[in-house]
Every structure is written in structure tokens, then in C-alpha cells.
A and B are shown apart, each in its own frame.
Chain A
Amino acid sequence: MTHIFSEIIRIVIPVAYFAVSVSFIVAFTKKQQLSSVWPSLFLAIGLFAHTCLLINILIANGYYLIETPFEGLAFCGWFFIVASTLLVYRQKEASFGAFLFPAGFVVSTLAVIFISQGPHLPKFLLSQPFMAHTWILFGSYACFLLSAIISIMYLVQHHLIRSRSLGSVYERLPALEVMDQVIMNCDAVGAALLIIGIVMGFLLMNSAIIRPPNLNIKISFAMLAAVTYACEHILRVGIGWKGQRACFVSIFGFVLIMITLLSGRHGF
């Protein structure tokens, strides 16, 4: 892929996602279901360009190891947009799109603006299992971002129903039960991916003869987040911790994930 083509793609992605976000926000404010073809078209263009960008990096480097945080954001954004698209079109709820796509736009825009080459990785990390490890983890982060946003939507709707403020925002937000189900599914998928990612990480450390395993901040918080999400799921299934409490746990879990993300590289 030529450099010019790559540059065009990096412009198309934010423009297309911005158009999608605006369309969904307008549909939300006007209390409409999406009947126009334009948002879907913009979404298709954005996703296509985004996929091309990821493939371009993969081809150019020979691997996609998510060397820099913004490379990670590009993948996380792509995964998030795909998951949001599936959710919005499956649930036929424009209101989900009005909250999710702007978040997807921000993540993806940050990624394409700041995407750069990272420092060269140690040789033992240039492997497919390490690539899978990072992909799986960033996939789980996308799931948790989605769940955290919908948890906020849930809490707003819950507050409106409890306080009898049954006005325009209440009318536009989806049903509590629908949102709770989505949060549960996102957290379950995210937690499964996170646990797999962590286990893979330990196996990789083991194979690289880093003994004892180096429990840095990144790993510690990732493990704490995994335990939080696993507990949430167990409490949901066991004693029916549904709704508001699950939302708080979900948001807390996402804070842990953010600390994991912002704590930088592993340092080995």
C-alpha cells in the first residue's frame, strides 16, 4: 500500500466516524430510529478504511504487536466499532449508537493521529503468540469500554425512573433490562478474553525464562480487573446482582483497565 493511500485512509477514518456519530446523535435527539442509509454507508466506509489501516501496519511491519499505545488504540477502536455496530443493528436502538459511536470516534481518531513506530521490541517478543496476547487483551478492553458506557446509560435511566423524571431523555434511552443484558454479555466476553490474555502472558514470560514472573503494575491491575469482572459474573449468576450494582462493578472494572493501559509497557 502506498504512503499516499495510507494517508488518505488516516483522513477517511475520523471523517467517516464523525459523520456516523453526528447521524446517531441527531437520530437520538429527534427520537428517530435510523431509517436513512447514510449512517450505515459512513460506517461501512469508516470500518473498511480502519481495517485497511490495520492490515497496512501488519503488512508493513510483518507483525502487529501493538508496540505503541496508539497502535493499541487503533486496534481497540476497530474492535469497539465492530462490537458497537453489531449491538446497534441487532438491538435496532439508535440510542446505543448515539453514545457508543462518539466514543469509537474519539478512540480511533486519537489512534490515527498519533500512530507511530515504537521502539524495537526484544527478539523473543516478535512471535505470533505475543501478537495474539496483545490482540486478545485489547479486544477485552474494547468490550469493557462498551460495557462501561452502557453502564452509565443504565445508571442515568435508572435514576430517571426512580426519580419519576419521565421526560425526553427517559423516552430516548433503551429499557433497563436490555442494557443490563448487554452489560452482562460484554463483561462476560471481556473477562474471558482478559483471563485468556493474562494466562497467555504468563506462558510467554515462562517461555522467555523470566522467573519468577514479573508482577509489575500493568499485570497486577489486569489481574485485579479480571478478578473484579469474574466476581461480577459469579454474583450475577449466583445471587442475582443485576442492574445498578453490576453497573458500578463494571465501571470500577473499567477504571482498573484504564490504570492497566496507562501504566505503560511491561519494562522487560
Chain B
Amino acid sequence: MDSNVDICKHVVVFGISHNTGSLGVREKILFAEQDIPEALSELCKLDGVLEAVILSTCNRVEIYAVIDKPDKAQALLSSFISAKKNIPLEDFEKHIYFHRCNQAVEHLFHVTGSLDSLVVGEAQILSQVKNAFSVARENGSTGIVLNKLFLFAITSGKRVRSETKIGKGAVSISQAGVELAKKILGQLTNHCAMIIGAGEMSELTAKHLKSAGIRKLFFANRTLDRAAALSAQFDGAAINLAEMPGILPECDIVISSTASPDYIIDVDDMREVIVKRKNQPILLIDIAAPRDIHPDVGKLYNVFLYTIDDLAQVAKYNVEARTNEIAAAMIIINEEMNEYFEWYNYLRVQPIVVSLRKKFDTIRDKNLTLLAGQIAEMPEETRNLIKNFASELTDDFFEMPSIALRESAGTSDWMQLSDALTKLFKLK
């Protein structure tokens, strides 16, 4: 990639996300991980495309590019997708969003700050952006503009996560259940859990429990096959529902989500369990409808019974709390974006600053050469003093115009000032 940046080459973003298109549409244009390097090479061969990054996740497919002719960028990228994915343009055209310059930059900062995510504050997007950027960089499809843009955006995303509470609190039912278990039992590494039922919810809960470090997982189901499949997936133990009462006293967390019309655990069962457990606290989460656990079980000593409605309330509270953090996240995003714009603007005046510095250095060196004969007889200390004086004088003369140029980079004066300096000092 050519590292010389011309200001008319613009940053653009082109894509479809969960906000604009359904999963059906997104699926059609999704890039598999192994296809991205090839797609990037083809993109960069298109007329006017100088740099490109492809971000392809289940919630969004986006192309970030630096394009010579941004007016034609949308048509160019649409045709590219259509040809690459072999789908007619009209199938996805109305779902596309296209932003240029500042809007494109702002969009990326919102994405890395997870403000544009399906669930605000979700953690995955930042690593997905990092991954997309590193693939593009390894394939040589990024240059000075996108490199800097992605570095700023990733830093901004990290700051948003660490300096705000946007990623805090469980926002799904299963995650809320696990968080609650941690608040009752502390670290889960020494605890056992039983998941009754083997549906999608059970799988999701098992995933969260496993990542929370649960010591042992039991999967109880009417048909052992499905329980066995889950236990193989999560390194647990499969049991039949008939075996459940024997295992229950060992478990500190029980999550039930079966389709059974009757209660699976009633008060007498749990009373026996509590006696066997010597009153050790037990968390029961009933996410089934109709309920699997008799509501009176929750009245027993050291038994904490939660239903799907209770957990939904927790998740709702956390979503609201995350939404309240958006304003704090925006402050960070704006700070980082301004720094990026400052850097971007500086690119416009950078060639003049570099030329001016070279000119000043040349003048200094020329004059020192002229003086060389006259100072040759002087002691080394004096000669060094003269050289240092010349260097400091050059630096001082250079400082003012260079600062003025930098400051003008973000304003409309920059061109006038550049022209003036070019003429005054006969810069190339």
C-alpha cells in the first residue's frame, strides 16, 4: 500500500448489520473466515480502493475502506459484494448503510465501543474488530489511514469497557442465573450443578456455568441420549430423571427447564435433600413453563428459588443500567475520535512541515560549513558550543511556523498558510 496520503482519499464504511437487515439477508453476504484474505486482495485491486478491512460477524458484515473516489464507492462496493457472493443487487441493496469521512469514523468507534451491538456492552465485538484488523494488516490491505483509525478505535473500545460499566451485569436469563449463583455461593469452582431438561436453554446455562468454573455438571433428562450429548459437550455426567433424587443432595445449583406438566421437585423432596445437605444453601432456578419446582420449596431454610420472571427482571435491570452508561461511553469515544481527527488533519500539512524542517536544516548545515574554516583553530568545546547554538536557533525558528501549521490543519486556513510557507521558503 502506498503510504503517501492525499486528503481527497476518504474513509468509507459500507455494510449491513442487525439494525438494517435480518439474519436471512446478513447470511447471504457473510464472509467465512477463510475467505476474507482473498476478498481483501480482490477489493484492493478495485479501481480507487487504497486500503480495506472486512468485518464479518453474525450481527454485521462491513467493509471499511480508504477510497480515492468516495462518490462512486457505494456503487463500487455493492457491485463487488454482488459479484463476490453471486447475488442480485436488489436482494440486499435496501439494507445497506454507507457512511463517509467523519460518519464512517464515528461508526467504527461506536462499533468498538459496543454501542451499535445487539446487546449494548457485549464483549465479543471488540475482539472481532481486532481480529478483522489483524487479518487485513497481515494481508497488506491496510495503510497509514486505516492502521491509525483501527488503533484509535480499538483503544477507544478498550477504554469504554474499562472506564464505564457498559459491560457489567448479566443481560440474559441464563447469565443472570449464574450471576445469582455467584452471589449466593461465591466462587463456583467448588460447587456442583444439575441441569434438568436438555433443551436450548439448558445448553446455554451449561455454557455459562462451565465458563464460571463449575466443578461438576449433571444433566438429568427423561431420555438419556440428549443428556449424554450435553454431558459429552460440557464434560459432565448424564443421569436419568429417576436417578435425580439420589444426586440432588450433592448439587448446590439446580436449573430446571423441562416441558413436564407436573412438578418435578416438590416440598417433601426438597426437605429430604436439605436434611441430607445439612442446611447447605441451594439455589434452584426454574425456567420452565409450566413450573417444574413447587413454589413453596422456596420457603424452606437456605433454599433460594428463582423463576424465569425473577431472572428476566434482573436482566432488564442490567440492560437499563448499561443503557445509562452510553453517555459516559460517548465522552470517551469523542475524546478518542478527536485525537484521530487531529492526527488525520495533520497528514495534510505533514509534507510542508517535513520540507520546512529540511530547508532549515540545510541552511544551518550550509552556514556551519562556511564557518568551518574560521572555527577550525578554536578549542573543541567552543566549536561544539557554536554548533549547538546553531541547532537551537534553527529549532526556535522552526517551532513557530510548524505549530501554526499544525494548528491550521483542522481549519480552512491550512492551504493558505501552506502556500505562503512554500513560496516564502521556496519549498518543493
Contacts and interface: CB of A to CB of B under 8 A. Distances in A.
A58 interface: no
Interface in B207-244: none
B302 A161 contact: no
Contact of B186 (A161, A175, A244, A245): A175
Interface in A212-245: 239-245
A161 B280 contact: no
Contact of A161 (B165, B183, B277): B183
Contact of A242 (B165, B183, B279, B310): B279
B182 interface: yes
A176 B165 CA distance: 24
- Most chain A CB neighbours (cut-off 10 Å) among B180, B182, B183: B183
Interface string A146-167: 0000000000010001101011
Contacts of B277: 240
B185 A162 contact: no
A174 B184 CA distance: 9
B84 to A, nearest CB: 47
B184 A176 contact: yes
A242 B302 contact: yes
B140 interface: no
A177 B314 CA distance: 21
A178 interface: yes
A236 to B, nearest CB: 9
B281 interface: yes
Contacts of A243: 279, 281, 301-302
B278 A164 contact: no
B278 A239 contact: yes
Contacts of B314: 166
B131 interface: no
Interface string A172-209: 00111110010000000000000000000000000000
Interface in B146-193: 165, 169, 180, 182-186
A250 to B, nearest CB: 16
A157 B281 CA distance: 14
A157 B186 CA distance: 13
A2 B191 CA distance: 57
B281 to A, nearest CB: 6
Contact of A167 (B182, B185, B279, B317): B317
A241 B281 CA distance: 11
A166 B317 contact: yes
- Most chain A CB neighbours (cut-off 10 Å) among B169, B277, B281, B313: B281
Nearest to A177: B186
B343 interface: no
Contacts of A176: 183-186, 281
A170 interface: yes
Nearest to B298: A162
A240 B279 contact: yes
Contact of A31 (B165, B185, B306): B165
B279 A239 contact: yes
Nearest to A242: B279
Interface residues of A, number: 22
A241 B183 contact: no
A237 to B, nearest CB: 9
A129 to B, nearest CB: 40
Contacts of A244: 301-302
A245 B314 CA distance: 27
Given A166-B180, A243-B281, A161 B304 contact: yes
Contacts of B182: 175
Interface in A1-42: 31
A216 to B, nearest CB: 38
- Most chain A CB neighbours (cut-off 10 Å) among B278, B280, B306: B278
Nearest to A164: B310
A177 B281 contact: yes
B310 A241 contact: no
Contacts of A239: 278-279
Contacts of B301: 243-245
A96 to B, nearest CB: 13
Interface in A122-139: none
A241 B279 contact: yes
Nearest to A91: B186
B20 to A, nearest CB: 35
Nearest to B299: A162
Interface in A229-268: 239-245
Nearest to B304: A161
Contacts of B306: 164
A242 B280 contact: yes
A245 B304 CA distance: 15
B286 to A, nearest CB: 14
A175 B191 CA distance: 14
Nearest to A167: B317
Contacts of A161: 180, 183-184, 304
Given A240-B279, A242-B280, A243-B281, 19 more contacts: A157-B183, A161-B183, A164-B313, A166-B317, A170-B183, A174-B186, A175-B186, A176-B184, A176-B186, A177-B185, A181-B186, A240-B280, A242-B279, A242-B281, A242-B302, A243-B301, A243-B302, A244-B301, A244-B302
By Cβ-Cβ distance, the 6 closest A-B pairs, closest first, are: A240-B278, A240-B279, A175-B186, A177-B186, A178-B186, A177-B185
Interface of A: 31, 157, 161-162, 164, 166-167, 170-171, 174-178, 181, 239-245
23 contacts: A31-B165, A161-B304, A162-B304, A164-B306, A166-B180, A167-B317, A170-B183, A175-B182, A175-B183, A175-B184, A175-B185, A175-B186, A176-B183, A176-B185, A177-B185, A178-B186, A241-B279, A242-B279, A242-B280, A242-B281, A242-B302, A243-B301, A243-B302
